[in-house]
Each structure stands twice: as structure tokens, then as C-alpha cells.
């Protein structure tokens, strides 16, 4: 679509036009554009935000004589064109809602699916909602950094060949740490076996808009792509997009459309969807220059951090490691192994001394996220100072023993689908006595955070010992309802 069309925000404009003409608001929400809201909220948000909080079903916004040309639909079409999708849907329950919808749509064609083992929890929840039966494919784990990278085409081919009746393959790229998968090769592997490739590109919605960044999943031929726009591209938290690719119709557009509405509120928040319209315009019209600015200033910031004794920063040097086809520099992943403390300790000190709040920290790294158009060299100044201060304090302390990284044992056998395990009656048993029971929850020891147990799998002695050992050495376990890990939730016998 022409740049001029991309340089417009039809849906946002329609909301503004409605608010400006001061219409009779005899509809929800009850705050009526401000007057009915608590004064504290009015003061905090300003009345303008409340005036723009306009529901669905309003003529001239999402209702029009020709429904396909209502500003809301037009904005979604501009979005599809901007990202190179056949069709795009605005989502108001984050990327999570998109993953739920995708799983529900896939379940229409069968019940088996191949899934990257360390997918986001929203895909595991999508499996629960849809009843899909997963066969997992392992990501590559970086033995040095203790983080999971991407799935390789070879691993996907092997898993798909072992699961001939699968309806799709679901993978994640980029990772939290910036590793990008060889999506084109993964597409080839999936398509050669007659299944669509779904890419959770929650962390990569910006890739399409810069020639300096790795190729985006849709351009590589992915069939369905989940894009969590709020993470990096500047829309409001909880707004996201699901895209359908241009390829053969391996996923039915109408089924996906229905699945999106099934998981969506009947009262989608206009501020969220208008922020998607605006984020799309910014990315489509100014993305190249804004991202160039962010990438260049992040390179500068990386150099400054490397000057601090004991610290290193991940960058494209990791490309070529198993499971790393390309690198997305918009995450700043600081390798703290050289300072004699864990990422948890470094993050804690940065917060205590400088009120620095990071996106993520684990054993060996701390991760800061930067957004499109952020002048990272300037905004990152306080990050560098805080890292310096944390390193000085650590130098004065006794060295923290870093936990040894042991190979996890194989996953236990799958006895129930995630949905069956979720719906079964459950009980809580002592962790030490859980061997042989079927898990009703996920357990993922960090590092590297690849789930050791998912709902429906039988708990084996080696897995329980591995998790207990990881915790004893200061590791974390995600997914457990009992954070102390004294107990675990299992399917009742």
C-alpha cells in the first residue's frame, strides 16, 4: 500500500473526531468520557483519555454503511499491508489472547501439534483451551550462557517425522535474549510435510521495518505470526496483532477470525486498538530511521558496558551457535558471569541503588529492553551507572558460588493432554513423594528455563531430583503453584 495511505491513522482519527464533537453518549462506559469517573482517575489520566475511551458499535468508527470500509476495518487492512500479511487482527488481550486463538483455530484440523518445548505459557494455556495434544521439540540450549536459543530445522524435521498426523508446528523467534531462528528453513521443513508453521514473534514486531535487522517471519513464509506490538513497537500494553501469511491457505482465515472473536471481549478497548493503528503508522512510515537510531545507539551502549570490568554484552557474535541464525539487537543482554555474582544479585543491587527495573534476569544475564526510536545511548546512561555501582558493591562482597549447569533428564512420558490434565480432579502432594504421579502444572528450572514438566506428563525420579538440585543451588522454578516447591499439584488418582 502506498506510503501516503500508511501515513494515516483512520481509526485513531475517528475516535478523536467523535470525542471532539461532544456527542450524546448514551452508551457505555459509565464514566461517560470523564464525568462519571473518580476524580483521582480523571486527574491521573486526564479527561482526554476518558473522552477517547469509546466502545465498539459506534457509527463512523467501526460501523459504516459498507462495514468493510469502517475506519476500524481500514486500520486492520493497513496493518496487514504494513507487515506484509494477508490479513491481520487487532488483539486486546495481548499476544497471550492471540496464542489462545491460534491454538483454537489449529484444533479444527486435527488434534496433534508439534510445539517448541519452551513456548510462552500462553501457548500451553492455548493447548489447554483447545485440547491439542503436543509433541515437543527442544530448543538448542547454550551450555555456556545457560539460556535457550531457537529450534533448528533438523530438530523440527525429526519431530515432525515422528508425529505424522500433526496439524501445525509452533515455534518462538526471536527469543527473550534476541536469538532469531532460521525461519525460512523451518518453513521449508514444515511445508514439505504439509503443515503450517506458526511463529510466536511476540518479541519481533519491529523486524519487518528495518533492513538492518533479521528478516521477519512473514517474509520468510510463516503461515501465522503472533506479534506482541506493545513490547517494542510502541502501542499500549496488552495490544497485539495476529497475522495470517500470504502463502497457501494452510490455516483457514474464517476459522482464525472466529477464534479471535471467541477469546476477545465484546467490549474491546478503543485506546488499545487505536494505539495499534498509531504504532503501525509510526513503524510503516518512520520505522527504518527510528530503528536505525535505536540500533546505533545500542551499539554505543554495548561498548560502554563492556568497559565495566567483568561484564560482556550479547550481540551478533552469538550468530552461528546452535539455534541462533541471526541476532536482534533490541534486547540488551548483559552477561554478568565475570563479576562473581548471579544476574539475580546484579538486578537486585541495580534496583536498590538506582531504581532500575529490568525486563528479565537469570543466573548469568540481566536483560534490558529498548523500544523503537529510543535514544538508547541517552536513556541507557543510568543503566550503565547502575551496572557500575552494582559491580563495585559486588567487588566488596564475598563471591557468590554460581550453580553448576547440569544436563536435564529426558521429559517424563505424556499420559494426558494438557487439557485433560487441567480438567481432571487434582490434588497437592509432597514434592518428594510425587514420583509416578501425573503433573497438573508446569515446572521449568532456570537456568535454562526449558520446562522439565508440563501438565499431563508423568513425574519421574530423575526429573524431580534435577529440579530439587537446581533449587538447592539457587536456581528458580517457574510454573509451580508452590514457589517453595515443598508440594506439587498433580492429577488425583
Contacting residues toward ligand PLP, per CB under 6 A: 94-96, 99, 120, 122, 172, 200, 202, 228, 240
Cell of 61: 468508527
Strand order in the sheet with 365-369: 312-313, 331-335, 365-369, 360-361
- C-alpha 276/C-alpha 12 separation (Å) is 9
- C-alpha 336/C-alpha 362 separation (Å) is 10
Q: Measuring CA to CA, which residue among 69, 431, 369, 432 is closest to residue 237? A: 369
- C-alpha 345/C-alpha 2 separation (Å) is 50
User: In the complex, what is the shortest distance from the CB of residue 391 to ligand PLP, in angstroms, rounded to a whole number?
Assistant: 28
Beta bridge partners of 457: 414
Cell of 35: 464525568
Beta bridge partners of 445: 477
User: In the complex, what is the shortest distance from the CB of residue 240 to ligand PLP, in angstroms, rounded to a whole number?
Assistant: 5
Contact of 363 with 406, CB cutoff 8 Å: no
Residue 41 class from Cβ within 10 Å (0-12 exposed, 13-18 middle, 19+ buried)? Answer: middle
Instruction: Closer to ligand PLP by CB, 95 or 456: give it.
Output: 95
Instruction: Closer to ligand PLP by CB, 186 or 387: give it.
Output: 186
Provide CB contacts within 8 A for 426, sequence distance 6+.
440, 489, 490, 491, 492
Task: Look at residue 263 and give its three-state secondary structure.
Answer: helix
Q: Measuring CA to CA, which residue among 178, 182, 166 is closest to residue 204? A: 178
Instruction: Closer to ligand PLP by CB, 125 or 469: give it.
Output: 125
Instruction: Closer to ligand PLP by CB, 280 or 458: give it.
Output: 280
User: In the complex, what is the shortest distance from the CB of residue 93 to ligand PLP, in angstroms, rounded to a whole number?
Assistant: 7
User: In the complex, what is the shortest distance from the CB of residue 92 to ligand PLP, in angstroms, rounded to a whole number?
Assistant: 10
Q: Measuring CA to CA, which residue among 103, 340, 440 is closest to residue 242? A: 103
Instruction: Closer to ligand PLP by CB, 122 or 282: give it.
Output: 122
Instruction: Closer to ligand PLP by CB, 200 or 328: give it.
Output: 200
Instruction: Closer to ligand PLP by CB, 94 or 323: give it.
Output: 94
User: In the complex, what is the shortest distance from the CB of residue 174 to ligand PLP, in angstroms, rounded to a whole number?
Assistant: 9
User: In the complex, what is the shortest distance from the CB of residue 237 to ligand PLP, in angstroms, rounded to a whole number?
Assistant: 8
Instruction: Closer to ligand PLP by CB, 96 or 152: give it.
Output: 96
H runs (alpha helix) in 46-112: 47-51, 71-83, 94-106
- C-alpha 433/C-alpha 461 separation (Å) is 10
Beta bridge partners of 142: 147
Query: Kind and range of the H or E element at 168?
Result: strand 166-172
User: In the complex, what is the shortest distance from the CB of residue 161 to ligand PLP, in angstroms, rounded to a whole number?
Assistant: 26
- C-alpha 137/C-alpha 176 separation (Å) is 18
Instruction: Closer to ligand PLP by CB, 142 or 388: give it.
Output: 142
Q: Quote the Cα angle for 482-351-231, to 5°.
A: 75
User: In the complex, what is the shortest distance from the CB of residue 271 to ligand PLP, in angstroms, rounded to a whole number?
Assistant: 16
Instruction: Closer to ligand PLP by CB, 228 or 470: give it.
Output: 228
- C-alpha 307/C-alpha 315 separation (Å) is 15
User: In the complex, what is the shortest distance from the CB of residue 27 to ligand PLP, in angstroms, rounded to a whole number?
Assistant: 28
Q: Measuring CA to CA, which residue among 7, 8, 62 is closest to residue 273? A: 62
Q: Which residue is nearest to ligand PLP (CB)?
A: 94
User: In the complex, what is the shortest distance from the CB of residue 122 to ligand PLP, in angstroms, rounded to a whole number?
Assistant: 5
Amino acid at each position: 500500500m502506498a506510503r501516503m495511505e500508511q501515513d494515516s491513522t483512520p481509526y485513531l482519527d475517528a475516535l478523536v473526531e467523535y470525542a471532539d464533537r461532544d456527542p450524546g453518549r448514551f452508551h457505555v462506559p459509565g464514566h461517560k468520557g470523564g464525568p462519571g469517573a473518580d476524580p483521582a482517575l480523571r486527574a491521573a489520566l486526564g479527561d482526554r483519555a476518558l473522552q477517547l475511551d469509546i466502545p465498539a458499535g459506534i457509527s463512523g468508527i467501526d460501523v459504516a454503511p459498507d462495514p468493510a470500509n469502517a475506519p476500524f476495518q481500514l486500520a486492520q487492512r493497513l496493518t496487514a499491508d504494513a507487515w506484509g500479511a494477508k490479513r491481520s487482527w487487532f488483539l486486546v488481550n495481548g499476544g497471550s489472547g492471540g496464542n489462545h486463538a491460534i491454538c483454537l483455530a489449529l484444533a479444527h484440523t486435527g488434534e496433534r501439534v508439534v510445539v517448541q518445548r519452551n513456548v510462552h505459557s500462553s501457548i500451553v494455556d492455548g493447548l489447554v483451551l483447545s485440547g491439542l495434544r503436543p509433541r515437543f521439540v527442544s530448543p538448542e540450549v547454550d551450555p555456556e550462557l545457560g539460556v535457550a536459543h531457537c529450534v533448528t530445522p533438523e530438530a523440527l524435521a525429526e519431530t515432525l517425522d515422528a508425529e505424522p498426523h500433526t496439524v501445525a508446528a509452533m515455534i518462538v523467534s526471536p527469543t527473550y535474549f534476541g536469538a532469531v531462528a532460521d525461519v525460512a528453513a523451518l518453513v521449508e521443513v514444515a511445508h514439505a510435510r504439509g503443515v503450517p508453521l506458526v511463529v510466536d514473534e511476540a518479541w519481533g514486531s519491529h523486524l519487518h521495518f528495518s533492513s538492518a535487522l533479521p528478516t521477519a517471519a512473514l517474509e520468510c513464509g510463516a503461515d501465522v505470526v503472533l506479534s506482541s506490538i506493545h513490547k517494542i513497537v510502541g502501542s499500549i500494553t496488552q495490544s497485539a496483532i495476529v497475522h495470517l501469511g500470504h502463502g497457501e491457505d494452510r490455516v483457514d482465515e474464517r476459522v482464525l477470525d472466529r477464534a479471535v472473536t471467541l477469546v476477545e471481549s465484546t467490549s474491546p478497548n478503543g485506546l488499545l486498538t487505536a494505539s495499534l493503528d498509531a504504532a503501525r503508522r509510526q513503524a510503516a512510515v518512520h520505522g527504518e530511521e527510528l530503528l536505525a537510531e535505536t540500533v546505533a545507539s545500542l551499539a554505543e551502549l554495548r561498548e560502554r558496558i563492556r568497559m565495566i570490568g567483568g561484564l560482556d554484552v550479547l550481540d551478533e557474535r552469538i550468530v552461528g551457535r546452535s539455534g541462533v541464525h541471526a541476532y536482534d539487537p533490541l534486547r540488551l543482554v548483559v552477561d554478568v558471569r565475570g563479576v562473581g555474582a548471579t544476574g539475580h544479585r546484579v538486578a537486585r543491587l541495580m534496583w536498590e541503588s538506582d531504581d532500575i527495573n529490568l525486563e528479565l534476569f537469570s543466573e548469568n544475564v540481566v536483560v534490558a529492553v529498548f523500544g523503537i526510536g529510543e535514544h538508547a545511548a541517552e536513556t541507557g546512561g543510568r543503566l550503565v551507572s547502575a551496572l557500575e555501582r552494582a559491580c563495585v558493591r559486588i567487588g566488596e562482597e564475598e563471591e557468590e558460588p554460581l550453580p553448576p549447569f547440569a544436563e536435564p533428564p529426558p521429559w517424563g512420558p505424556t499420559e494426558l493432554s494438557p487439557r485433560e490434565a487441567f480438567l481432571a480432579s487434582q490434588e497437592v502432594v509432597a514434592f518428594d513423594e510425587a514420583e509416578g504421579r501425573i503433573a497438573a502444572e508446569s515446572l521449568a528450572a532456570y537456568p535454562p528455563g526449558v520446562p522439565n514438566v508440563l501438565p499431563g506428563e508423568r513425574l519421574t525420579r530423575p526429573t524431580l531430583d534435577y529440579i530439587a538440585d537446581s533449587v538447592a543451588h539457587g536456581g528458580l522454578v517457574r510454573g509451580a503453584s508452590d514457589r517453595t516447591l515443598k508440594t506439587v499439584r498433580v492429577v488425583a488418582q
